[in-house]
Amino acid sequence: MKVLLPILIILFLSLPHTIKGQQKYTLSGTISEVSSNETLIGVTVAIPELKTGVTTNEYGFYSITLPEGTYTVLISYLGFEDITQQITLTENRRKDFLLSEEAEQLEEVVVTENVEKMDIRKPQMSVNTLSVGTIKKIPVILGEADVIKSILLLPGVTNAGE
C-alpha cells in the first residue's frame, strides 16, 4: 500500500497535462468564388492526416473540430482549382478561402457510323423466341402445356382478357 500511494499521487498530478494535450479547437470559415465573391455550396474541406472532412452548407460556411496540431487542409470543388494549405491550430480559428475556376480545353470528338451496314429497307424489330424445350420446362396445369400461356411469359406480351 505504501508503494501504491506515491504512484497514484504522481498519476493524479500528471492528469491535467494529459487532458491539456487533448484540447480540441474549431476551424471554420466561408468558401467563395474569386470572380463573383459568391459563396459555394458543397465544397469539400478535407484533413488527410485524420481521414476526415466536412462540406460547406448553403451559405458556404464550414466548421470542423480538431485536436491541437498542424494539419494539411485540402479544399476541393468540381470545376475549381484545389487549394492545399498547412494550418496550425492552437486556438479556435476562422479561415476563409477563395476558389478560382479551372478551365480545361477539350479535344474535338467525331462520331461516325458505317451506313453501308444499315439496311433501312428492312428495319429489324426486336424478336423473342420460345423453343419447345423452354415450353416443356414451364409448369403444366391439368396435364398439358399451354402455348398461349407460355407466350404471355415473354417480355412485352400482355393479355387484354380471356
**Domain range annotation of the chain:** 24-99, 129-156
pLDDT greater than 60 at residue 18: no
| 10, pLDDT greater than 60 | yes
Structure confidence at residue 47 (pLDDT): 96
Per-residue model confidence (pLDDT) at position 117: 67
DSSP codes, 113-157? --GGG--TTSPPPP-----HHHHHHSPPBTTB--HHHHHTTSTT-
132 band by pLDDT with thresholds 50, 70 and 90: confident
Is CATH 3.30.230.30 the classification given to domain 24-99?
A: no
As given in the structure block, the three cell numbers for residue 2 are 505504501
Q: For residue range 21-65, list pLDDT tens digits in order.
A: 568 999 999 999 999 999 999 999 999 999 999 999 999 999 999
pLDDT-derived band at 16, boundaries 50, 70, 90: low
Q: Region 115-143: what's the mean pLDDT?
A: 76
Residue 143, pLDDT above cutoff 80: no
At 57-105, the pLDDT tens digits run: 999 999 999 999 999 999 999 999 999 999 999 999 999 999 999 888 8
HSE-CB at 42 with a 13 A cutoff on CA atoms is 4
- What is the SS3 assignment for 11? helix
Amino acid 127 reads V
